[in-house]
Structure 1
């Protein structure tokens, strides 16, 4: 394709279904939609405008539904007795028209979230038990468009999708959300969560895992279906705020970290037990309750207002006559504005239910979440069947009016089990994986590395490092690695620095190591023993210092009490590839078994973008792109990582034309130059796997990211015209598969589905490449957006399946193609480097913005050239 073409690229159409593999009968969590005669031929779309009485817009989240509920309840005649579905924002839908194209209503709501309370400037007559405040709102419904209901019939017939059909599906999804909102559920996009104790599971430290249900309509080859899935969200455990903080931080009340508490509590809703009123937390008082004062305006008997400075504690205990037992020595909850705070003693505040928890989880919470949220296939199927029955979609008035009825049976589909790829290891030996697994018992690595001149550092881990080193060397030599013993000294952290900041601990350890090494030289490799498996404060600063400043390959471990040979083998898998070796390769790599990849110079690229957690709006996103090296291998990769603006999904640094102001040529040119240096030729085929984008972004990926990659090729050589194939890999979807005759077992590794449940027009398929040992297997949904190379359906599916067996860190097939998995690892590892204290200080010193007002994005620290092309991310 000519990269200068201005025509908009669209996702490519399906070429046909694959034929390889053993057929298998499956069930999927899609329920067929049937259509009866609708009451009208059109959905009517209305714009919703909600303002205060003075005409100012209403911006509070969630209040729209309360206001429209009031309209539905009190204005049935004006609405022509019509049912409607409201999306909670600016869109409302009906089946058939409302009586007029413009309808206006006045709504009076009792304000249950009054922010006036103790600690403000109100007079004493209002006290703490101020009556609820009423507010007036104006609601305007304005006709916007008509959407043919017949689009549902087109979908049922599997006809080619169009924008009208997509619009109809959006309307149906709004109906589902409106249905759930009417049951007082917590809504998260197309998922709903009931406030029912049987769905809550505590995962510790003040956090609950709440099970709910995703429900959305999908257009498939088999027609329109309702996709229902079990889903989870995290919520704060309701109850007294003080108890939550003690549990959340694992401390007693006296030693609570109030700075952390302020961040955790911000924007959560509380109920004041003495008034039963609800508020949103805006912060904490700067002083404890006994010391925090405010200016109290009190009316005297003669009507004059007397200003008195009083503490919150004295106001409650002496004037309101409310006893305080625990609050005096703690900060107050602030529910007011920064310049007009409203303080409430913490012991009177309780967190209300159904509030999402968006902070990072601890190791303990993560472990519990995994253990308590998994469901075996039969358990999941039973829960989905119960959900379909309890939600009673076929009783929904709007669905009845548009003639939609939902079937009660799981949809039957046919899949295929692809042949398992064979592997080659050391000395030409073969490995034949079974059930997606293999091992290295009595086997050598395919390309063993050499480990000489290496050191061991120990950051206060309670273990026997000498025993670990001895067993590691023994195990490494058994796998064919040329592995010497390390320098005799194990550099153990000085106990006096154990509680110092992480960057200081790292600096002291490096000083100790460099001064203690023979001749003061650099080691070729460092084994770093940590006391914590994950979330170690030292990990990020250590990686930054060693990879960026020193350019030394390093492997961090956090050994448990029993270090066995299986654990050591897993460690050696990572060490070997980081030092340039390979653990196993596909047999077809040796035999050049995929001609379009292995007999034509081909580079395989994996792309991913990592974002900060939902509560971190100013943390830069991290884009990682990995590319294959040493063609015709498809098992060895290197990574390029860049920072970009927070929450931006498209990678904006793929190609930078050379100019006087840029020092970065762009990710793509760096990777292409690396490929040329390794193989001494330019790739003729470029295969791209992209993670993390939804269907709404497919056109952008094609017309922005792919276009930039094409431009990068032309910039390097305007006569060079490689062919591209681009594939999206999605894990975050809600389609699951179950064996029809063995519903308690997961589908076998290599199960592929490319018919009936797939898109009616676009080229997509589902693949369960891995063995689901826990819970229910989640397939990866692959979308082939672009294919200039000209793969047949079977060839492309075989390539994708094979790339699930080249992940060097494990001895199992992985769910996602290795290049994307590596991109995810590279982004995550460099993300820990960005969390180093000095970089965070740089971010805070810019106050989040540049002098021009744009969001400040600190640059990614550049890896030392000694490790830049290594698989440091493994």
Structure 2
């Protein structure tokens, strides 16, 4: 037996997913809280156990004996040297007004556009409409933005080389080699590091950069010989290896000349006013090269870790400064960087990020912090695929060798299982026990035949002279599926720089928001200070930029913004409200179009841990709220002489609870009840999801859910608690076909004519940790009349992680037919479509794959009515960008709201950082409730209506006040937002397949899925999903 501790095992695949985020601009910034649990979204993850617990002993925690929250204690969250300071970011030096040169060039480009009728653009902007002009409406303000001007030396050549990688390794127990598919990741990055030790590269630093995939850039030419290509062969070794192991992978890198980066052409293109699509076909290549160069400094810095494209994180130098998220995770601050082009200049976008990582600590500390009482399967899932360092092996000179291993999991009992895809039996498991310990796991060891099978504990004593301190802890498999390597956790240290890709629980989510959601001035100080150091545009890192003829100004650029006026809103009886702070009060007002709730009831879902409550006091408060909103005051329908319904759930028994929920909702549906208020025993997702599945899909009951704890807290306030129930009535009225608030016709622009159907489209992908093959959800919502208050929708499953909507034609036909039915058989003359969730690289796909389906749907429907086809506009709504704005002075800022220093609500920016030729704008319609405000980014992909800048920006802004679930303006236009939450509702129906609710290793089978599209007939063409 080799000195790796034993063989013979298989670990489970690692759960996938993501957590954390950027500066989390404006928690709640979409207005209202997002779930339908009485106005609060809540975290649906539930509690995973006692958050307290004692710190476990590092060497001797008993198996399963430490409570959650034990282990290493790290630093407090949040504050550092960037925290304290004025509410407005006012650096010394730098510009305080927008560049006149850029402003004049922007006007020149627009003037050039007006002379062209059907021009199109190239690359990412291919076939996108030209900007018709810049907006003029609103109060002009000055804003700093997290973009930094980049200077490019036009005389400096940047040499480009393509890389072709081949890898092979020796076959086990036989002669010859086997092909190994190179994969981007840590190992390939290390292979590049070995390549750069070759003489041809050794003296190029800092003028050497790579994307660690297929491109190398140099500031001086490589000497590759007359063929302009050269092959470099070498044996792979890990960072900690002094020599390569015997069965190491052999790499072959073929480096081939690919010319120079066209930086001169890029500069000419940005300085030009012409819009000929043949202007510059190499823009994308040039920008990609610049991004590779900017990333060079953090990529070569060992204390900086990359997680995701262009995102770089730096651990605190000392463990006591770790930002503790609890349960084994820490928050690590980092930065996103991206080179962007704008009119007349190249810019570097730099933004703050915060993400959850594993701490660099002992494995026992990590397990104790996570909490062994969570169960061995959850612990295994938490640590799978972690890289750990061991320091117990010795080389021939008796020196300690540092080895890095990857955890496959714990032990699993041997057995067989039927493969659902092939129908054949396959073997699994690697030991005699599930989650065995060093004392119980045994293996055959030729090195010690008399003791074979030998325990892991005995092996380490005999082989290494080590007496394990914790032999009863779960032993780790750090080998492969076929050849497990058993290592006690006390000998493993977690390597730094490993992001957590699972779902955060409630407390972790709260904690990471405390770190990530920072006020705007602090956010700006952090970007200019630590951020510029990390990415290398300040300090020693600038040497790499200089080697390639680049430099980046360390001052944020300043751009023009305009604050659009907030619209008034109309309620019943001609009353109106003003909305100066993007929020308003409905006191003494009824919904614009109230639809009384007649047959309603409530359902108390009790838990074995305690009953829920909804008695006379609760009923009276809810009836008051209904009456105040204009929805009547009917008493709830009851069962067997009692008001309302109730059922008791068995804590943790999901299958039994599902049957209970089905039975009680079936009874309620048979009672003719149309609307149901459901009191949930807690925030856990399972109960909520099953209520929605049975009510929406099977029985056709409109439901609004509220968590018992929240309900009791509000009712305890007496009359003051009525506001909570008033929030619930917003959803009841929308579900019943009503209109909560309306814009005055003059604020609707051309929409007031009533011949335009607004459409929202979105696709949501499987959540982190979902079963392999779990489908994506596509949704389409649309308006029904000129009030733009009702948004019924269509919903479908589609291929997992497919970005474009597969059944868009079918869903658009459904929406058109319903609109026509609601408008006396009149077809809409215009379609204004807001498409959510599309990245820049997918703009062309929308026009190629989705627009064709939309046109086909129109042709099918309009042919029946013998009318002309509609004009179509498509606008992409971007939420995942990294653009932020910071007022330059108090007079340009929101200094009234809770978070001071953000731009005022209604701020629109269409100059300075927008497309050099296309039509786009940033709009912050809302008031941020938390952190730095994040504007929405709107990009016009199709403009058959020929809308002007002021017209499109004004309509989009005003529509943000028609979000029916709150008395606040929201951050993205309601058509896109409603499509988004309809997709989320589809996820509820597939809860069995999402994280934590499916057996390990199973693959989604569409033939066994309980849901594929649509809802119960009674809920079709309603807003059941709000």
Of 624, 629, 633, the match for 1:483: 633
Shift in Å at residue 486 of structure 1? 0.9
1:654 lines up with 2:808 in the alignment: yes
Q: Is the 8 A contact 1:50 1:64 kept in 2?
A: no
Q: Is the 8 A contact 2:666 2:699 kept in 1?
A: no
Alpha-carbon distance in structure 1 between the residues aligned to 2:269 and 2:522: 31
Alpha-carbon distance in structure 2 between the residues aligned to 1:348 and 1:755: 57
Superposed CA offset, 1:384-430 (max 9, x none): 11122564426544422432211121111111111111111121111
Of 314, 319, 329, the match for 1:194: 314
Q: Is the 8 A contact 2:160 2:257 kept in 1?
A: yes
Shift in Å at residue 261 of structure 1? 2.5
- Report the counterpart of residue 124 of structure 1 in structure 2: none
Shift in Å at residue 270 of structure 1? 1.8
Q: Is the 8 A contact 1:27 1:410 kept in 2?
A: yes
Shift in Å at residue 158 of structure 1? 6.0
Q: Is the 8 A contact 1:38 1:401 kept in 2?
A: no
- Report the counterpart of residue 257 of structure 2 in structure 1: 143
1:367 lines up with 2:510 in the alignment: yes
Q: Is the 8 A contact 2:238 2:244 kept in 1?
A: no
Judged with a 3 Å threshold, the aligned counterparts in structure 2 of structure 1 residues 281 and 163 are, in CA distance, closer, same or farther, namely: farther
Superposed CA offset, 1:24-64 (max 9, x none): 11111111112335432x53232242534758446252223
Higher mean alpha-carbon deviation, 156-165 vs 565-574, is at 156-165
Higher mean alpha-carbon deviation, 232-241 vs 797-806, is at 232-241
- Report the counterpart of residue 215 of structure 1 in structure 2: 337
Of 562, 574, 584, the match for 2:713: 562
Of 584, 604, 624, the match for 1:458: 604
Of 378, 383, 390, the match for 1:260: 378
1:88 lines up with 2:212 in the alignment: yes
Shift in Å at residue 366 of structure 1? 1.7
SS of residue in 1 equivalent to 2:453: strand
SS of residue in 1 equivalent to 2:723: helix
Shift in Å at residue 216 of structure 1? 1.2
Alpha-carbon distance in structure 2 between the residues aligned to 1:844 and 1:138: 37
Superposed CA offset, 1:520-558 (max 9, x none): 62312111011223x432011111111111101010001
- Report the counterpart of residue 28 of structure 1 in structure 2: 145
1:762 lines up with 2:762 in the alignment: no
- Report the counterpart of residue 110 of structure 1 in structure 2: 237
SS of residue in 2 equivalent to 1:640: strand
Of 45, 59, 70, the match for 2:161: 45
Alpha-carbon distance in structure 2 between the residues aligned to 1:144 and 1:175: 16
- Report the counterpart of residue 739 of structure 2 in structure 1: 582
1:412 lines up with 2:558 in the alignment: yes
Judged with a 3 Å threshold, the aligned counterparts in structure 2 of structure 1 residues 414 and 857 are, in CA distance, closer, same or farther, namely: farther
Shift in Å at residue 827 of structure 1? 0.8
- Report the counterpart of residue 880 of structure 2 in structure 1: 732
Superposed CA offset, 1:203-238 (max 9, x none): 222222211011111101241111111012221233
Shift in Å at residue 109 of structure 1? 4.5
1:14 lines up with 2:150 in the alignment: no
Alpha-carbon distance in structure 2 between the residues aligned to 1:213 and 1:23: 30
Q: Is the 8 A contact 2:612 2:679 kept in 1?
A: no
Alpha-carbon distance in structure 2 between the residues aligned to 1:214 and 1:16: 31
Of 233, 256, 259, the match for 2:355: 233
Shift in Å at residue 434 of structure 1? 1.8
Of 275, 279, 294, the match for 1:176: 294
Alpha-carbon distance in structure 1 between the residues aligned to 2:920 and 2:534: 33
SS of residue in 1 equivalent to 2:923: strand
Alpha-carbon distance in structure 2 between the residues aligned to 1:468 and 1:158: 67
Q: Is the 8 A contact 1:524 1:553 kept in 2?
A: yes
Alpha-carbon distance in structure 2 between the residues aligned to 1:637 and 1:843: 37
Aligned residues: 823
- Report the counterpart of residue 417 of structure 2 in structure 1: none
- Report the counterpart of residue 538 of structure 1 in structure 2: 687
Q: Is the 8 A contact 2:661 2:690 kept in 1?
A: no
SS of residue in 2 equivalent to 1:137: strand
- Report the counterpart of residue 190 of structure 2 in structure 1: 66
- Report the counterpart of residue 777 of structure 2 in structure 1: 622
Alpha-carbon distance in structure 1 between the residues aligned to 2:286 and 2:586: 54
Alpha-carbon distance in structure 1 between the residues aligned to 2:196 and 2:287: 24
Judged with a 3 Å threshold, the aligned counterparts in structure 2 of structure 1 residues 265 and 710 are, in CA distance, closer, same or farther, namely: same
Superposed CA offset, 1:567-594 (max 9, x none): 2222221122112222111112xx5x54
Q: Is the 8 A contact 1:620 1:857 kept in 2?
A: no
Of 273, 294, 308, the match for 2:443: 294
Shift in Å at residue 857 of structure 1? 7.8
Alpha-carbon distance in structure 2 between the residues aligned to 1:132 and 1:492: 70
Alpha-carbon distance in structure 1 between the residues aligned to 2:377 and 2:204: 54
Alpha-carbon distance in structure 2 between the residues aligned to 1:654 and 1:81: 51
SS of residue in 1 equivalent to 2:411: strand
- Report the counterpart of residue 597 of structure 1 in structure 2: 751
Q: Is the 8 A contact 2:298 2:536 kept in 1?
A: no
Judged with a 3 Å threshold, the aligned counterparts in structure 2 of structure 1 residues 80 and 368 are, in CA distance, closer, same or farther, namely: closer
Q: Is the 8 A contact 1:600 1:685 kept in 2?
A: no
Judged with a 3 Å threshold, the aligned counterparts in structure 2 of structure 1 residues 512 and 19 are, in CA distance, closer, same or farther, namely: closer
RMSD: 3.2
Shift in Å at residue 713 of structure 1? 1.1
1:334 lines up with 2:477 in the alignment: yes
Q: Is the 8 A contact 2:161 2:255 kept in 1?
A: no
Which runs of 5 or more structure 1 residues have no equivalent in the other structure? 2-7, 115-128, 300-304, 656-665
- Report the counterpart of residue 469 of structure 1 in structure 2: 619
- Report the counterpart of residue 117 of structure 1 in structure 2: none
Q: Is the 8 A contact 1:200 1:211 kept in 2?
A: no
- Report the counterpart of residue 5 of structure 1 in structure 2: none
Q: Is the 8 A contact 1:48 1:92 kept in 2?
A: no
Once the two structures are superposed, the pairs formed by residues 504-543 of structure 1 within 5 Å of their partners are 504-512=656-664, 521-533=671-683, 535-543=684-692
SS of residue in 2 equivalent to 1:783: strand
Judged with a 3 Å threshold, the aligned counterparts in structure 2 of structure 1 residues 667 and 242 are, in CA distance, closer, same or farther, namely: farther
- Report the counterpart of residue 571 of structure 1 in structure 2: 728
Q: Is the 8 A contact 1:111 1:135 kept in 2?
A: no
Superposed CA offset, 1:302-349 (max 9, x none): xxx779222223323455432233342x43211222221111123333
Shift in Å at residue 170 of structure 1? 0.5
Judged with a 3 Å threshold, the aligned counterparts in structure 2 of structure 1 residues 36 and 836 are, in CA distance, closer, same or farther, namely: closer
1:637 lines up with 2:637 in the alignment: no
Alpha-carbon distance in structure 1 between the residues aligned to 2:230 and 2:553: 37
Alpha-carbon distance in structure 2 between the residues aligned to 1:793 and 1:51: 54
Judged with a 3 Å threshold, the aligned counterparts in structure 2 of structure 1 residues 107 and 530 are, in CA distance, closer, same or farther, namely: same
Judged with a 3 Å threshold, the aligned counterparts in structure 2 of structure 1 residues 707 and 97 are, in CA distance, closer, same or farther, namely: same
Q: Is the 8 A contact 1:420 1:433 kept in 2?
A: yes
Alpha-carbon distance in structure 2 between the residues aligned to 1:365 and 1:310: 42
Alpha-carbon distance in structure 2 between the residues aligned to 1:69 and 1:764: 41
- Report the counterpart of residue 853 of structure 2 in structure 1: 708
Judged with a 3 Å threshold, the aligned counterparts in structure 2 of structure 1 residues 514 and 327 are, in CA distance, closer, same or farther, namely: same
- Report the counterpart of residue 748 of structure 1 in structure 2: 904
In the superposition, the TM-score normalised over structure 1's length comes to 0.88
Alpha-carbon distance in structure 2 between the residues aligned to 1:410 and 1:91: 30
SS of residue in 1 equivalent to 2:962: coil
Of 747, 766, 773, the match for 1:612: 766
Judged with a 3 Å threshold, the aligned counterparts in structure 2 of structure 1 residues 404 and 83 are, in CA distance, closer, same or farther, namely: closer
Shift in Å at residue 614 of structure 1? 4.3
Alpha-carbon distance in structure 1 between the residues aligned to 2:269 and 2:181: 37
Higher mean alpha-carbon deviation, 597-606 vs 64-73, is at 64-73
Q: Is the 8 A contact 1:108 1:135 kept in 2?
A: yes
- Report the counterpart of residue 834 of structure 2 in structure 1: 689
Alpha-carbon distance in structure 2 between the residues aligned to 1:319 and 1:492: 67
Judged with a 3 Å threshold, the aligned counterparts in structure 2 of structure 1 residues 601 and 674 are, in CA distance, closer, same or farther, namely: same
